[in-house]
Amino acid sequence: MTANPILLTQQLLRCPSMTPIEAGTLTLVGEFLERRGFSIERLDSGDVSNLYARRGKSFPHLCFAGHTDVVPPGDITRWSVDPFKGEVRDGNLYGRGVVDMKGGIGAFMAAVDAYLLKNAKSEGSLSFLLTTDEEGPAIDGLRYVVEQFKARGEKIDACLVGEPTNTTKVGDTLKVGRRGSLNAQITVQGKAGHVAYPHLAKNPIIPLLNYLKGLLEAPLDAGMVNFDPSHVEVSSIDVENPTTNVIPFEATAKFNIRYNPTHTFDSLSQYLQEKANEMGLNRDGFTHTLQIRGSGDAFLCEDEALQSLVREAVLKTTGITPAFSTGGGTSDARFIKDICPVIEFGLVNATAHQTDEHIAVEEIHLLTAAYLEIIDRFFDESTLKQ
């Protein structure tokens, strides 16, 4: 009898693994895989736990990557169930992280179990790469592990990341790349004063708003194949001014840029600074500081054979031809793409991070079947000969 993906997911859900707490999740996965012939290696860094489990030493090598950490459940009284119990109700499995992405991990564990029962002497290698630092800073998680792999020459032919990629039903969307993401904070300083005597002050709010207006009104690009146009989104404007009769000394804004491969972190950083200089934020009595942090440049999986393999496997098991997408937020795929081609495919993302996060039980079974088909096709004799 093959492993049940629902029971495996429930076991993971009962571990309250909020970033970066492992809470027994990697131990659970490791013990399951060790019983199936996997070699287990922990690559922990700081307070982050990382698991690398590999079965086989030959090639081709297919890796499943993901994270067991979850975001906090928020106000538990707003949940209709215990977020860490893994309760099934009306055909849905509830729990924090069931969608993002413990359900995906449970499905791949079950798929691997089913595959090995049929192919105990399969050639090639299967591996799992899991972290407890995806929802947080993402510094000591797979970013760290990828650097370790580079240093020791660890080779992977293809990676499947189990992030929730679908919008309405398992099978409708594959992530074949991701947009880049840049966060910036700009602070403009002027001269404080009384609102009745504006000529004696330098109001920093005005040039700050002009700067933001300039960024929002000037298109960064028109988009490209597989990518929407890059865009700026303002997330905060603050002056910390509790009064109505004082012109503040400084004003701060925060914004994010999601960008396609037309740009890089370095090129956008230069653009933002040049824009600030053009807008006069360092003259006429004003000064400014600009802090910029990137979480990864845009990328696209250009391995057409891998794209086709995954797409055809998903079509066969779900009856849906999946769309290729690069939208949404960031994921650990942005690190993995430095060492091998990577595609993301998991559950439906509709309730990810929400109160009462849940997914239909049948969707987890469907994802398990799709994962098994992907593994079968990857290690098919014709694939091994390529």
Which residues participate in catalysis according to the annotation? 69, 134
Report the 3 state secondary structure along the chain.
Answer: CCCCHHHHHHHHHCCCCECCCCCCHHHHHHHHHHCCCCEEEECCECCECEEEEEECCCCCEEEEEEECCECCCCCHHHCCCCCCCCCEECCEEECCCHHHHHHHHHHHHHHHHHHHHHCCCCCCEEEEEEECCCCCCCCCCHHHHHHHHHHHCCCCCEEEECCCCECCCCCCEEECEECEEEEEEEEEECECEECCCHHHCECCHHHHHHHHHHHHHCCCCCCECCECCCEEEEEEEECCCCCCCEECCEEEEEEEEEECCCCCHHHHHHHHHHHHHHCCCCCCCCEEEEEEEEEECCEECCCHHHHHHHHHHHHHHHCCCCEEECCCCCCCHHHHCCCCCEEECCCECCCCCCCCCEEEHHHHHHHHHHHHHHHHHHCCHHHHHC
Calpha distance 297→343 (Å, rounded): 16
Are 179 and 326 spatial neighbours (Cβ–Cβ below 8 Å)? yes
